[in-house]
Structures are given as structure tokens and as C-alpha cells.
């Protein structure tokens, strides 16, 4: 989680310095969901994400330096600098792709789940999306299909209460995403997305079932993003969360307090993790800066497979 | 030589691919029932409903399912029942399928075929009769195929299924049941190679899909009047075999381009631009286009019949470039 936090905080710095390019959507505050979900998956479990994808991609195992190089438009990036923040892909680690079209990833995840079933494997497909995607047509079409076909798919909704600049209440009368899928009798749960252990436990339960071939499942994680919709957005649409309140809610600090009190690790261990993560980000930035921009010829080479 | 039809050739190409490659599967609305034109008839019986998957009327989601399955190693054959409904699937086709290989720096590929059919002439009205291929040719990453004969339909579909890219395969509903003599075995036809349907030295007619037949009829009439018309069917619009077209124009010095789609913004404009850019000095007359008027397709039979470009229109265009 610190790797995601530090990575994204540095991306924010680099965005202001015009070193990373394009629309940058940070998930600072939502790291608990990425970490709890992706670290329980195998490399061959396909994961799909949306425009706020850094955390999912990092937690799925993609190398930080190649993600950062991608954001900086370099040839050493995951996608050789052609995709960018909203289109991260790392096939080696089963990160099948982020998309800039809200909700467009959901039917694709169904397709990966169907492929797994047709091939006879036990992979579980996972798709991350925000509460804003739930009002899109393809979400509703996909829920119907996923339940009709009983696909081994886990839909993970990060409900941060805002679709772009607008609170959920202005987009729909249905407060909880888990209620939207109720008529389809999807097995579902709404958890505190900033409670890492709660997300871990609920997702793990769904994963065990999906691994046996059943599904779909929907996990709604109530969370909060500390940053704007994108870096540099006007940001006037919501109240800043009080610092003291955030100390209480921050998924990383919460887990640390809990872990230390349970004796799982010490304050020193935590400090060491932070230091390691910061050092890793520094090295990643060095790699990305040294990576050249891609050759112009790459454009024509990659239009067709 | 055995006799077949366009619809049977499409069906046979799918069945053959499914027999030879377990990754190939069919999905779409009513496909397990054969669909409205029997294109998928018998496939569910032979391969089971696990591989011939009936879907709800959810074009956006089923297109996404095909993209996801394709980039996960399968070879989906997605049917969009009428090309008019592709509007609902365009996010997946345009934003996902076409760009996945590029945006992932070459990590992903999307070997799917989106089969659909278009064309007027069945009193289907303005939402079941369109020719929308030009939109799709504008998207880098897609290949666009429009066969006009049974042999090409079967042969091109075989190649489309083998292709590692997303291919939009546009059939024409009025061609489905025409009888045609074919070789015992329909051989794959490579994408990107035009077919010279008739040779001639006085004028080149490039015609797409249904208009190929009309162009050949016009060529017959012109032959009787002493004019040799060469008829070229590009068969695939992307990639386009410009070489064959330009080679013909260099010989005839005159070009007519004919398609059923609305002329305004139609693919004929692209062919025209590409030809004049490389063969301007060979042209003895302005290039003429034949296409539908800039209007939705009417239902009323005499109006629809008049709306669809036909052999007379091609003939008149040829006469115009010969003046």
C-alpha cells in the first residue's frame, strides 16, 4: 500500500512538473482495495481496471519503473509509451487492461471469464470500477449476462461517492451499488473499503467460491479519494476531509495501528517498509527518466498485430 | 462444380474453422437458432450451445465479451444481426478492439471477427437496411471485409478467422440466397487483395458488395455497345488493394466507383482521393461516384427501389466518364 501511496504522490508531483502526461487520476486513499484484492490473485487471473488504475496495476505485480515510464511516455513503459495512465496493460502479470471509457472494461472481463471457462481453467476474472460506471448501460447488460452464464467473475466496485465531479445522489436514487444488482440475485457484500482486513476477508471468501467455478460476485467497497477526479481538476465540488478524520480513516494507517497492536509487526517494521518503498520510487523515476521516448516508427508498426 | 449460396458458404466457413480450432466459438443474438438468415444454422447442433452461444439483446456487452475473450486467447465469431445495431457496440469495437494492440505496446491482440450484414431491398426500413462500412474504415486497427460472391464470402471469412486483428465482416442480405457455382473446396482468400471480376480496356468500375453484380450487368450492356468495362471488387476495404485499382486505371484512364451506401462521405470518396493522388495524370475524365442519395432509406417499395443504386446508375456514370 505504501508503494501505491508513494508512487501516486510522486506522480502528482511529476504531473505538476509536466513530466507525466495526459489525464492522471489518482487513487490516494483507496489503496486498501487494490492491495486486498490483487495480492490474493494469481498472475493468470485476469484483472481489468478503469481510468483510476495505478493502484490495481501495482498491486497485481507490474514493475513500478515500467508503470512510471509509461506515464512519462517512454519506450521503457509497460506499453512502450503508447497507452499512458488510463491504458496500462501488463499481460505478464495478468493485468489485462485499464480503460478510459467508464464501464467499458466490465464486458471485457466477462469475455476473459468466458474464455477461462471454455478452456477449462480455474482462473477468476476481476474487474474494478467506480460507482459512476454503474449507471452506464454496459454495466447493466454485463450483470445480466454474468449472472445468466454464471461466470467466475468478481466485480469490485470502489464506491468513493463521486462520479467525476458529481455526488452519487445526483446520478441515481439507488444509494448502494449492491442494491442495483439485487434483482439478479448476485452474491454481494458492501464493506468498509478503508478497512483492509474487511476487504481481504470478503474478497477472499468470494475468490474461494469463484475458483471452484461459480459466480459472479459483487464486492462494494465504500472508500474515499483524497485527490480530485483528475490531477488539476477544479476541485470545488466537495469539502476537504478534516485531517484528523482522515488520520482515523486512512486505510494504511488503520492497518498499521491494528497490526502493531496485534503484534504482527513493529513501528520499526512499518518505517522500514516506508523507507524501502520511497527508495523504490526513486529508482523507478531514475529508470523512467533514462528511458528514451519511443521511435516515431513504432506508430505504424503497432496499428495491426 | 457444386452449387452453393453465399449464406451456405459463410456457414460452412464457420463450421470448418470450429472443427479445426477449438478456440473458435460463435456468439450473438439467436445464433443457436440459426438467426434470421440461417447463417448459423446447424452450428449449435454440431458444436453445442457452449460454443454457439445465444445472447440477450445487449450489443455493447456481447461485443465486449468478444473483445475480452479474444485477448484472452479465444477466437470469437461475434454476430451483430444487422449492421444498423453496430451503433450499440461501437465503444467496444472502436475504443477497445481496434486499439488494444496499439495501446498495449503490442502486448494484446484481438483476433475476433464481427460478422454482420447490411443493405437495403427487403423493405426493412431505415433502421434495418443501412450500409455503414465507411464509418468503420475510418478506425485504424480494424480490418473491413465486404464480399460480393459466395466463394469470396467463404474464402475471406476463413482468412478473417485466422487473422490476429479484429475484422468486421460485412455481408449483404440480398446476396445470401443467390445460387453460385464454386470449386469443390472453397479456398481461403487473402485479405487485402482485389478481384478483377471482368476485364476490359475502356473504363474501370470499382464496385462494392451488392453493386458488383450491378456493375457486371452494366458492363454487359456496355460491351454490347462496344465499350470494354473492367470491373474490380476490392473485397476488403481495409486493407485496400490500391495497386490493382490503379493498375486498371492506368490502362483504362477512366474510373467509376459504385456502392450502395450513401454517396456523401461514403468509402467511394476515399478510393477516389487515393486514386487521383497517384494516378491523376492517367485520368482522361473526372472520377464518377455512384451511391445512394443523402436520405434515410424509405419503406415504400417504389421509393426504396428507386433509392438503391443499380445497374442503370452505373451505366449512366460510365457514359458520363466516356463523354
Calculate the average pLDDT of chain B.
97
Q: Which residues of A touch B108 (CB under 8 A)?
A: 89, 91, 96-97
Catalytic, B264? Answer: no
Peptide bond into B239 cis (omega under 30): yes
pLDDT above 90 (res B59)? yes
> Measured between CB atoms, does B107 come within 8 Å of chain A?
yes
Residue B283 burial (10 A CB sphere; 0-12, 13-18, 19+): middle
Q: CB distance B66–A90 less than 8 Å? A: no
> Measured between CB atoms, does A148 come within 8 Å of chain B?
yes
Secondary structure letter of residue B92 according to DSSP:
I
- How do residues B98-120 score in pLDDT, each as one tens digit? 999 999 999 999 999 999 999 99
Q: What is the pLDDT of residue A165?
A: 73
Q: Which residues of B touch A43 (CB under 8 A)?
A: none
Q: Say if strands B236-238 and B75-80 run parallel, antiparallel, or are unpaired.
A: unpaired
C-alpha–C-alpha distance, residues B88 and B108, integer Å: 24
Enumerate long-range contacts of A273-281, CB under 8 Å, 24 or more apart. Answer: A273/A2, A274/A2, A274/A6, A277/A2, A277/A3, A277/A5, A277/A6, A278/A6, A280/A3, A280/A64, A281/A3, A281/A6, A281/A7, A281/A10, A281/A64
C-alpha–C-alpha distance, residues A71 and A246, integer Å: 28
Averaged pLDDT for residues B222-228: 98
Q: Which residues of A touch B70 (CB under 8 A)?
A: 111
Catalytic, B128? Answer: yes
Q: What is the pLDDT of residue A240?
A: 65
Q: What is the DSSP string of B16-56?
A: HHHHH-TTEEEEETTGGGT-TT-TTTTHHHHH-TTTEEE--
* Predicted confidence band of residue B1 (pLDDT cuts 50, 70, 90): confident
Q: CB distance A119–B67 less than 8 Å? A: no
- How do residues B285-294 score in pLDDT, each as one tens digit? 999 999 999 9
**Which one of the listed residues B29, B79, B128, B171 is annotated catalytic?**
B128
Averaged pLDDT for residues B272-279: 98
Per the structure block, which three cell numbers stand in for B71?
485477448
Location of C-alpha cell 450483470 = A143
**Neighbour-count burial for A80-89, b at 16+ CB within 10 Å, e otherwise:** bbbbbbbbbb
Instruction: List the single best residue of A87, A111, A120 to mutate versus B (max B Cβ within 10 A).
Output: A111
Helix or strand (DSSP H, E) at A48: strand A47-49
- Closest C-alpha among B221, B123, B120 to residue B175: B120
When divided into structural domains, chain A yields a total of: 1
Per the structure block, which three cell numbers stand in for A122?
480455474
- How do residues B204-214 score in pLDDT, each as one tens digit? 999 999 999 99
Is A301 inside any structural domain?
Answer: no
Domain that residue A246 falls in: 2-293
Report how far Cα B256 is from the mean position of its chain's Cα atoms. Answer: 19
Task: Find the CATH number of the domain harbouring A225.
Answer: 3.40.50.970
More confident residue, A160 or B123: B123
> Measured between CB atoms, does B108 come within 8 Å of chain A?
yes
Q: CB distance B95–A101 less than 8 Å? A: yes
pTM over 0.90? The answer is yes
Evaluated on CA atoms A46, A47, A51, A52, the torsion sign reads negative
Q: Which residues of A touch B96 (CB under 8 A)?
A: 99, 101, 104, 108
ipTM above 0.85, yes or no: yes
Is A192 inside any structural domain?
Answer: yes
- How do residues B25-43 score in pLDDT, each as one tens digit? 999 999 999 999 999 999 9
Instruction: List the single best residue of B60, B66, B164 to mutate versus A (max A Cβ within 10 A).
Output: B60
Q: What is the pLDDT of residue A225?
A: 80
Q: What is the pLDDT of residue A166?
A: 77
pLDDT above 90 (res B70)? yes
Is A302 inside any structural domain?
Answer: no
Q: What is the pLDDT of residue B278?
A: 97
Q: CB distance B105–A305 less than 8 Å? A: no
Is A57 inside any structural domain?
Answer: yes
Residue A173's alpha-carbon distances to A104, A135, A179, A219, in angstroms, are 23, 11, 11, 20
C-alpha–C-alpha distance, residues B24 and B39, integer Å: 16
**Which one of the listed residues B29, B59, B171, B263 is annotated catalytic?**
B59
Q: What is the pLDDT of residue A236?
A: 66
Domains, chain B: 3-181 (3.40.50.970), 195-322 (3.40.50.920)
Is A303 inside any structural domain?
Answer: no
**Neighbour-count burial for B16-55, b at 16+ CB within 10 Å, e otherwise:** bbbeeeebbbbbbbebbebbebbbbeebbeebeeebbbbb
Q: CB distance B69–A137 less than 8 Å? A: no
The parts of chain A modelled with pLDDT lower than 50 are none
Q: CB distance A107–B69 less than 8 Å? A: no
Q: What is the pLDDT of residue A245?
A: 80
Amino acid at each position: 500500500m505504501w508503494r501505491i501511496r508513494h508512487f501516486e504522490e510522486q506522480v502528482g508531483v511529476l504531473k505538476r512538473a509536466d513530466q507525466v502526461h495526459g489525464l492522471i487520476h489518482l487513487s490516494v486513499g483507496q489503496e486498501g482495495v487494490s492491495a486486498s484484492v490483487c495480492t490474493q490473485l494469481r498472475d493468470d487471473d485476469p484483472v481489468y481496471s478503469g481510468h483510476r488504475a495505478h493502484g490495481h496495476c501495482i498491486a497485481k505485480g507490474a514493475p513500478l519503473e515500467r508503470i512510471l515510464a509509461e506515464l512519462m511516455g517512454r519506450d521503457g513503459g509497460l506499453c512502450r509509451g503508447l497507452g499512458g495512465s488510463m491504458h496500462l496493460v501488463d499481460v505478464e502479470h495478468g493485468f489485462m487492461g485499464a480503460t478510459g471509457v467508464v464501464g467499458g472494461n466490465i464486458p471485457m472481463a466477462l469475455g476473459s471469464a468466458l474464455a477461462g471457462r471454455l478452456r477449462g481453467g480455474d482462473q477468476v476474472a476481476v474487474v474494478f470500477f467506480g460507482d459512476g460506471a454503474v449507471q452506464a448501460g454496459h454495466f447493466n447488460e454485463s450483470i445480466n449476462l454474468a449472472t445468466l452464464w454464471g461466470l467466475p467473475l468478481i466485480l469490485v466496485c470502489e464506491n468513493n461517492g463521486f462520479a467525476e465531479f458529481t455526488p452519487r445522489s445526483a446520478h441515481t436514487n439507488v444509494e448502494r451499488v449492491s442494491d442495483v444488482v439485487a434483482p439478479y440475485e448476485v452474491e454481494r457484500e458492501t464493506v468498509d473499503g478503508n478497512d483492509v482486513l474487511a476487504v481481504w476477508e470478503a474478497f477472499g471468501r468470494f475468490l474461494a467460491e469463484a475458483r471452484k467455478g461459480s459466480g459472479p460476485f459483487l464486492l462494494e467497497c465504500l472508500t474515499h479519494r483524497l485527490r480530485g477526479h483528475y490531477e488539476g481538476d477544479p476541485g470545488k465540488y466537495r469539502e476537504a476531509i478534516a485531517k484528523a478524520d482522515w488520520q482515523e480513516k486512512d486505510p494504511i494507517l488503520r492497518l498499521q495501528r491494528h497490526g502493531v497492536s496485534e503484534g504482527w509487526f513493529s513501528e520499526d517494521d512499518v518505517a522500514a517498509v516506508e523507507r524501502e518503498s520511497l527508495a523504490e520510487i526513486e529508482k523507478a523515476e531514475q529508470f523512467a527518466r533514462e528511458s528514451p521516448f519511443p521511435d516515431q516508427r513504432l506508430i505504424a508498426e503497432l496499428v495491426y498485430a | 462444380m457444386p452449387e452453393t449460396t453465399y449464406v451456405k458458404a459463410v456457414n460452412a466457413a464457420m463450421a470448418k474453422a470450429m472443427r479445426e480450432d477449438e478456440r473458435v466459438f460463435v456468439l450473438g443474438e439467436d445464433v443457436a437458432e440459426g438467426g434470421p438468415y440461417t447463417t448459423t444454422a446447424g452450428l449449435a447442433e454440431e458444436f453445442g450451445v457452449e460454443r454457439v452461444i445465444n445472447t440477450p439483446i445487449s450489443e455493447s456487452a456481447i461485443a465486449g465479451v468478444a473483445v475480452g475473450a479474444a485477448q484472452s486467447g479465444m477466437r470469437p465469431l461475434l454476430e451483430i444481426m444487422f449492421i444498423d445495431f453496430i451503433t450499440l457496440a461501437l465503444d467496444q469495437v472502436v475504443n477497445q478492439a481496434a486499439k488494444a494492440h496499439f495501446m498495449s505496446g503490442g502486448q494484446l491482440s484481438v483476433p475476433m471477427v464481427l460478422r454482420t450484414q447490411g443493405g437495403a431491398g427487403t423493405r426493412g426500413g431505415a433502421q434495418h437496411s443501412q450500409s455503414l462500412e465507411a464509418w468503420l474504415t475510418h478506425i485504424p486497427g480494424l480490418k473491413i471485409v465486404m464480399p460480393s460472391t459466395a466463394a469470396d464470402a467463404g474464402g475471406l471469412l476463413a482468412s478473417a478467422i485466422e487473422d490476429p486483428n479484429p475484422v468486421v465482416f460485412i455481408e449483404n442480405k440480398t446476396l445470401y440466397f443467390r445460387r453460385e457455382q464454386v470449386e469443390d473446396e472453397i479456398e481461403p482468400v487473402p485479405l487485402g487483395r482485389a478481384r478483377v471480376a471482368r476485364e476490359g480496356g475502356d473504363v474501370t468500375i470499382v464496385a462494392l458488395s451488392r453493386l458488383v453484380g450491378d456493375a457486371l450487368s452494366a458492363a454487359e450492356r456496355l460491351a454490347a455497345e462496344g465499350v470494354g468495362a473492367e470491373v474490380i471488387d476490392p473485397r476488403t476495404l481495409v486493407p485496400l488493394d490500391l495497386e490493382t485499382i490503379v493498375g486498371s486505371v492506368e490502362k483504362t484512364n477512366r474510373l467509376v466507383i459504385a456502392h450502395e451506401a450513401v454517396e456523401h462521405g461514403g468509402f467511394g470518396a476515399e478510393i477516389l482521393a487515393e486514386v487521383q493522388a497517384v494516378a491523376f495524370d492517367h485520368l482522361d475524365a473526372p472520377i464518377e461516384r455512384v451511391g445512394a442519395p443523402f436520405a434515410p432509406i424509405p419503406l415504400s417499395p417504389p421509393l426504396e427501389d428507386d433509392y438503391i443504386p443499380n445497374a442503370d446508375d452505373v451505366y449512366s456514370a460510365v457514359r458520363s466518364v466516356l463523354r
